[in-house]
Structure 1
């Protein structure tokens, strides 16, 4: 176990950040699933910018890799365009 005050603080901070990252990632995954299951093209087009923004935010904060974000956005845009 860590003995230094800064190490103990870092352990607490890491846990808080981990939980926040996990929450944000799960929220985006649910939004992606909702968009993929959408049948109405107008609703999907309305949701797309929001979901893309969420994905970009995750990539910017290094919660997901930039290439993964690009692949997700590309697939979602193709799906909405093909409706």
Structure 2
């Protein structure tokens, strides 16, 4: 167990950040899944910029690796183009 006030505060703040990161990551995964499942081109083109922004935000805050975000964006762009 932590012995210092600063360590206790760090434990609390880490937990809050963990919950926020988990929420953002799960929300983005669901958005990616919905975009992959979409069959209408117009709907997919509307969703695509929002999903890309979400992925960029995750990569910027190191929740996911920047190359993983790039790979997902590339595959999604290919999917939208083929609709």
TM category (shorter chain) comes to over 0.9
Partner of 2:52: 52
What residue ranges of structure 1 are gaps of 5+ in the alignment?
Answer: none
What residue ranges of structure 2 are gaps of 5+ in the alignment?
Answer: none
The 4+ residue runs of structure 1 with deviation greater than 3 A are none
User: TM-score normalized by structure 1?
Assistant: 0.99
Aligned length: 83
Superposed CA deviations along residues 19-47 of structure 1, whole A, max 9, x for unmatched, are 00000000000000000000100000011
2:25 is the alignment partner of 1:25? yes
CA RMSD of aligned residues (A): 0.4
